[in-house]
A = this chain, B = another copy of it.
Amino acid sequence: MKIETLRHSLAHILAQAVQELYPGVKFGIGPSIENGFYYDFDLPKSITPEDLIKIEKKMKELIKKDIKFKKKIISRNEAKKIFKKQPYKLELIDELTTKTVSIYESGDFLDLCKGPHLKSTREILENSFKLTKIAGAYWKGNEKKPMLTRIYGLAFKNKKELEKHLKFKKEAEKRDHRSLGQKLELFMINEQIGAGLPIWLPKGATLRKIIENYLYQELTEKGYQWLYTPHIGSRKLWETSGHWNFYNESMYPPLEIGQSLEDVQKGKKAKIKEEYLLKPMNCPFHVCVYNSKIRSYRDLPIKYAELGTVYRYERSGTLHGLIRVRGFTQDDAHIICTSDQMTEETVKLVKDAIKMLKDFGFKEYNIYLSTRPKKYVGTIKNWQKATKTLEYVLKNLKLKYQIDPGGGVFYGPKIDIKIKDSIGRDWQCTTIQFDFNLPARFKMTYVDRKGKKKEPYMIHRALLGSMERFFGVLIEHYAGAFPLWLAPIQIWVIPVGSEHRKYAKEIAKKLKEEGLRAEAKTEAETVSKKIRQGEIQKIPYLLVVGDKEIKNKTVRVRKREKGDIGEISLTKFLKKANIRIEKKVEA
């Protein structure tokens, strides 16, 4: 039995239960979905989540009756008669192009349905399903049509699997970066400013700065050169790059910068139209920098890096916290090199990516190699060569990977790395993309060994992906309990009484001098309340100091998740904390 069949049959049982409880109900549709099923109803009265218990009880009663699912093929007219009181079903029948109609009968319930279904409700194991929520849904997803009531359910093969899923969902909810982001004051998204435009709050900004510094150091050492480029570019630039045509579904309409807002408000028109576009990518800017002087083969590879904030069109309904936004900062880079250097550079990129993701605590990942899509630029020969290079690199590094046929970008094949977080979810992260488009479009050249002009190769790559998205993943991966080196606040020093405040401040000062992010919590609150707050805020270390600690020149250390780990000297604590920071490992 396919799990989808089970789920679909449960949708019918749900409809049957609703039919018995709410006579006169009109039925929409009821498919199986990921992890469960739903059914849309036009109910004679509105229902609340409490009603779900009643409906679920009724479903269980029906299931116990060992109801059989029977398929029947009937004529359209017969179907119309059967569903004469069901306007939505009639609409569906009218849309059918077939002469006959397939319906399913289960007990007193009849549905327009292709199947397949279970033979009998006996196949549904006890406590293997659960109704979860009610939502509004327009008939056929069209906001001009009536709003129906959708009831969702989860369904699995057995009770154990359902419980496993519920546990996973609960765990995922606890880790939801949107609620943690608010609780820990890491970021905010504000409707007054705009949907999909996150603001990094002070604690989030501290964490971002740590990531930025990490990237700056790592990449500078590896020979990357940094750039800062503007957030808008002339229409001409985007026409030259091809984004104007090939990437227009992700770009915003042009902005007129040849006049001021005041001019527009007064109805004045600009003499010359100066159209600019918010950048959806940094590439054309980096290419212009490359093209700003003559380049020799001796200069290659040139690696330009930028933390460039780009803006991409997303429908407001698809936005999701930091994961799907309208403005985000890519840890972007472009490697411009000769044909000979492609393999070596790609090896470095893959190795660097894996190394860096590991530094952030991601040890597992899935690698995808995406090949030529239907719409593409460049020659087949170049595509084959580039794809072979990518394959060679992955094989050479002994990395497992999957092929995503036709999943490449229009301008070249790519390698994607999806990281697995601590509860096993995949997150798209690194992307390494070959580009056959921009070097030709911008007439990029270098002078080769023989003094001849040649077109270089170009690789786009983002290792973390975007700062916003990666931050979201980090929050969910660690459930907000960041490792010491990433924690916005690493240490709270908590005085037992007001007479210990001075010592607490001294300790905090010393910790700060050692480069640690420490705060003395000298507010007039109880120690236990402060400890509780520190735990909620997921501070890695809470150092409690009272008479004894002052006398012994020590601190009492409470480690996150571990609790009290004893009284030690500050020097010992510093040694411990510092060493761990250097190793970028959770202390």
A-side residues, CB < 8 A to B, are 185, 188, 190, 192-194, 197-202, 204-206, 208-209, 216, 225-234, 236-237, 240, 244, 248-265, 274, 276-278, 284-285, 288-289, 292-293, 298, 304, 309, 311, 313, 316, 326-327, 329, 523
Contacts and interface: CB of A to CB of B under 8 A. Distances in A.
27 contacts: A188-B288, A188-B292, A190-B288, A192-B240, A192-B288, A193-B229, A194-B237, A194-B257, A194-B276, A197-B232, A199-B230, A200-B228, A201-B289, A202-B225, A202-B304, A204-B228, A205-B227, A206-B226, A228-B329, A230-B309, A231-B231, A231-B309, A232-B311, A248-B265, A249-B260, A249-B262, A274-B316
Contacts of A248: 260-262, 265
A252 B261 contact: yes
- Closest 9 A-B residue pairs measured CB to CB? A202-B225, A200-B228, A251-B261, A248-B262, A205-B226, A197-B230, A260-B313, A248-B261, A253-B264
Contacts of A253: 255-256, 259-261, 263-264
Contacts of A316: 258, 274
A570 to B, nearest CB: 21
Contacts of A209: 216, 226
Nearest to A216: B209
Contact of A232 (B237, B261, B313, B327): B327
A284 B258 CA distance: 25
Contacts of A288: 188, 190, 192-193, 199
A225 B327 CA distance: 22
Given A244-B261, A257-B313, A288-B190, A228 B252 contact: no
Given A193-B233, A194-B237, A199-B289, 14 more contacts: A188-B289, A194-B234, A197-B232, A202-B225, A202-B227, A205-B225, A231-B311, A232-B311, A248-B260, A249-B260, A251-B260, A252-B255, A253-B264, A255-B255
A260 B252 contact: yes
For the complex, would chain A's binding face be called helix, strand, loop or mixed by DSSP majority?
Answer: mixed
A90 B252 CA distance: 53
A582 to B, nearest CB: 15
A75 to B, nearest CB: 41
A329 to B, nearest CB: 8
A283 to B, nearest CB: 12
Nearest to A247: B261
